[in-house]
Structure 1
Amino acid sequence: MFGITSGGGRVRARQAALAVTALLAVTGCGALGSASTSSPAGGGGLEKTTLKVSILPTTDLAPFWLAQDNGYFKAEGLSVDSVIAASGQASLTKSISGEADIAFSTYPPFFTAKSTGAADMQLVADATSVNAKSNAIVTVPNSPVKTVYDLADKKIAITAKNTASDLLTRSVMQDHGVDFSKVKWVLIPLPNIAAALQQGDADAAYLPEPYITQAAKTAGAIPVIDINTGATQDFPLTGYGATRKWVHDNPKTLAAFQRAMQKGTHEALNDRAQVEPLLVRFAKIDEDTAKLLTLPGYGSTLDSRRLQRVPDLLLQLGAIPRSIDVNSMIGPQAGK
């Protein structure tokens, strides 16, 4: 290309050609390109390039959907498939069984599994915390419940015992000196709670968004008390976890997932206009509800001091048999 003419130049050219050939042999990059795909940003040599993540179609998943839609997973060399679960516990089960690599859930199932010895789970990414008006105990106008002090011996709808809905409701009642020992806990799936309130099957209910906004529209539901108060203010709500074995076997894949989630979380925190269409598409929320609802507090980095609040509350309320040191459950984090 540069018109090498001298004898010394020809020698140097041959030496350069040999050096390039040797380099190609070492890196495995040949002219045919069978092994020449470029490494993803910061994630070369992933143990797995296809990742299965068990999720729930809730507003908490906005950063995950943004990471998919905006190509952040793809940029890390990952192809991510969603596996829909019916509940946080069901999501966790999919990870334990190997049906999913990573599970999204509210935090209690992770700590319950650890405390009871059911599974050795590690937390790999944060997702959401309680935000003002994002989670509440609600009622309807014809209910005997008017304030938090009326809850003592009433029928309260939750999704299941020892879940976030149960624990946060009991914690708020305890903060206000309300006895929950005589409460009749009614176990109802979230989509059916508004109808149960209308029909008198429950006097009050724990609801997260978007169900608060939907119940207000369909049943005239009104908040009794915001969960974002007292001991449950800014309470860690949801996150992602995997078995300790999976984390150990797939460190580069995990780091790639975490980097993509960090970018998705940044977008969710700073651009609601990107979030609302995803809630319509994936969480099956109508456009009006997506505009009106209160989003949870999104996060991606795990803070052990903050997360320690969850097992401490579980232990205090008798939901787990022994204390847990959260530090023992936090997996490696990209960038730390």
Structure 2
Amino acid sequence: MNLKNLAAAALFAAGSALASLGVPHAAFAETTKLKVGYLPVGVYSYFWRAQDAGYFADENLEVELVPMAGGGQIIPALQSGALQFGISDALGVLNARKGGLPVTYVSFNFSQSSDNPVHAVLTTNPDIKSPKDLEGKAVATNLSYNTDWTMMREWLRKNDVDIDKVTFREIPFPDMLPALRNDTVAAVGAVEPFVTFGKEQGANVLGHYFTDVKSPVVLSGIVAMLPYVEENPDIVKGFVKAVNRAIEDFKADPAVARETIGAHTKIPATAIEAMNLGDWETEVPPSEMQFWVDAAEKEGILNETDDLNSLVWSPKE
């Protein structure tokens, strides 16, 4: 027996001995390195929690979190293999599928409701007292043809606004409040913590453009390329298990989420305490994607789509 075989036999024997003492063989499993694209904001703070609490390590995963601009940057990186997982909103997945990219959710997990909204329409113009006053003016969302843009348009329609009389502009979330102060736009579709910052600075809330349209509404989560998922089901299961443990921590005690956000951002403690967090879920049925399919078809973004079950991956037992 050569040295390599002797080493393998010794490792197996050691593993068997420790297993008899209650130490699982998983402790000897090779560590898998993963790169995950995300936005470094509170919505995706479950990644930080899974790192800090050792949940990724428990699944023999070494996860590098890569800050990125959004799904438009993340999905191409998944396609190239530069990332294994990333975040995306629902329209990002549908747009990618329309473009022939086999993207699927492995965890469709973030939602908000009327009693815990994280998006709001803000204005600092005292003459704008209702959505109807936005006709003839400019409104900002962070991107076009995404969930924010789609919901803003539907929110305006629900408030009897002629959207053909509204100019839509793309402004990143961190630049929205300065754009209001400079009168670049009349209103913005902001997300926490910028909603809280805006209110602290005197901005008025005209409405909550997600939850005024649908409550609750699931809007984003973790995606991967379907071929990668099918080739690496155990890795995907372990990764999702670690994230789900973090989500369960947040659900059991929202203070854990606030502490995690505070540890990884420069958001002032007073704002972290005041801001809405939204809701995280571990088991969202694929049927929740139907709302976004219908919304995309209404906007002319989508003509047809794949089966809903293919948009949200479910592990086979």
- Normalising by structure 2, report the TM-score: 0.88
Whole-angstrom distance in 2 between the partners of 1:145 and 1:320? 33
Question: Paired residue for 1:149?
Answer: 132
Letter in 2 for 1:89: G
Q: How far did residue 274 of structure 1 move?
A: 1.3
Whole-angstrom distance in 2 between the partners of 1:245 and 1:324? 16
Whole-angstrom distance in 1 between the partners of 2:15 and 2:261? 44
Question: Paired residue for 1:134?
Answer: 118
Q: How far did residue 280 of structure 1 move?
A: 2.2
Question: Paired residue for 1:195?
Answer: 178
**For 2:74, what is the secondary structure of its paired residue?**
helix
For residue 249 of structure 1, the aligned residue among 231, 247, 250 is: 231
Whole-angstrom distance in 2 between the partners of 1:283 and 1:210? 11
Question: Paired residue for 1:113?
Answer: 96
**For 2:310, what is the secondary structure of its paired residue?**
helix
**For 1:122, what is the secondary structure of its paired residue?**
strand
Q: How far did residue 302 of structure 1 move?
A: 3.2
Question: Paired residue for 2:267?
Answer: 285
Change (3 A) 1:229 1:329: closer
Moved more, 277-286 or 101-110: 277-286
Question: Paired residue for 2:44?
Answer: 61
Moved more, 153-162 or 191-200: 153-162
Whole-angstrom distance in 2 between the partners of 1:238 and 1:190? 17
Change (3 A) 1:143 1:314: farther
Whole-angstrom distance in 2 between the partners of 1:246 and 1:197? 43
Whole-angstrom distance in 2 between the partners of 1:80 and 1:87? 19
Q: Deviations over 1:106-158 (max 9, x none)?
A: 221111110232x1111100231123331111111x35321122223221011
For residue 289 of structure 2, the aligned residue among 295, 307, 315 is: 307
Letter in 1 for 2:208: D
Alignment partner of 1:91 is 2:74: yes
Whole-angstrom distance in 1 between the partners of 2:165 and 2:181? 22
Moved more, 236-245 or 61-70: 61-70
Count, aligned residues: 304
Alignment partner of 1:160 is 2:143: yes
Whole-angstrom distance in 2 between the partners of 1:158 and 1:221? 16
Q: How far did residue 261 of structure 1 move?
A: 1.2
Whole-angstrom distance in 1 between the partners of 2:144 and 2:303? 15
Question: Paired residue for 2:221?
Answer: 239
Moved more, 152-161 or 318-327: 318-327
Does the Cα contact within 8 Å between 2:130 and 2:206 map onto a contact in 1? yes
Change (3 A) 1:94 1:222: same
- Normalising by structure 1, report the TM-score: 0.83
Q: Deviations over 1:196-231 (max 9, x none)?
A: 0011101001011111011222x3112101234453
Change (3 A) 1:28 1:302: farther
CA RMSD of aligned residues (A): 2.5
Q: How far did residue 259 of structure 1 move?
A: 1.0
Whole-angstrom distance in 1 between the partners of 2:232 and 2:248? 24
Does the Cα contact within 8 Å between 2:132 and 2:161 map onto a contact in 1? yes
Identity, % of aligned positions: 24
**For 1:128, what is the secondary structure of its paired residue?**
strand
Question: Paired residue for 1:224?
Answer: 206
**For 1:308, what is the secondary structure of its paired residue?**
helix
Question: Paired residue for 1:75?
Answer: 58
Structure 1 stretches of 4+ with a deviation exceeding 4 A read: none
Does the Cα contact within 8 Å between 2:152 and 2:210 map onto a contact in 1? no
For residue 187 of structure 2, the aligned residue among 175, 200, 204 is: 204
For residue 262 of structure 1, the aligned residue among 244, 252, 256 is: 244
**For 1:53, what is the secondary structure of its paired residue?**
strand
For residue 215 of structure 1, the aligned residue among 195, 198, 204 is: 198
Change (3 A) 1:31 1:322: closer
**For 2:179, what is the secondary structure of its paired residue?**
helix
Whole-angstrom distance in 1 between the partners of 2:126 and 2:146? 24
